[in-house]
Amino acid sequence: MLCVAWFLANVVPFFGAAVDLLGASFTPISCWLIPLVLYMRMCWDYPEYSGKKGRPIMWHLEWVAIGLECALAVILMIFGTISAVQTIIQNWQTYGQPFECHCEGIWKTCGCSAEHAGMAEFCPATPSP
């Protein structure tokens, strides 16, 4: 798993933005919409838990809350996905190539930090400003 995570983080130069895109696209579905649909289905299949036999009747306030949660999930999914895609498009030129040495200001001497093991041959040291 560690090797797969390392490979994906290096093959995708915009890994952070890709994670944002996946999170904005799938989190509302998996964390809000699926549980709400499963709850409504459970109320439909097991009406004895709703207090009456036959077709289950949810309280009106509960329907309003479920409707608001579904609407919020859809809005967050749409606008979050749009925002993540716009971020990727705006920063596309700064990401670089896959497996390229990406200096993100993490180390003091940022020429891809030649002091780190194995990096001297790929990233020559440059003095920091």
* 89 & 103 share domain: no
Question: By C-alpha distance, which of 36, 59, 32, 54 is closest to 44?
Answer: 54
The residue segments making up the domain with residue 117 are: 99-129
Report the domain count for the chain: 2
Residue 19 contacts residue 9 (beta carbons within 8 Å): no
56 in any annotated domain: yes
* 85 & 34 share domain: yes
The Cβ of residue 17 has, within 10 Å, a number of other Cβ atoms equal to 19
Q: How far is residue 67 from each of residues 49, 62, 97, measured CA to CA in Å?
A: 21, 9, 44
- Reported pTM: 0.62
1 in any annotated domain: no
The pLDDT tens digits along the chain (129 residues) read: 998 888 877 777 778 888 899 999 999 999 999 999 998 888 778 766 655 555 556 677 888 888 999 999 999 999 999 999 999 888 887 776 666 655 555 544 445 555 556 656 655 555 544
Question: By C-alpha distance, which of 66, 76, 62 is closest to 29?
Answer: 76
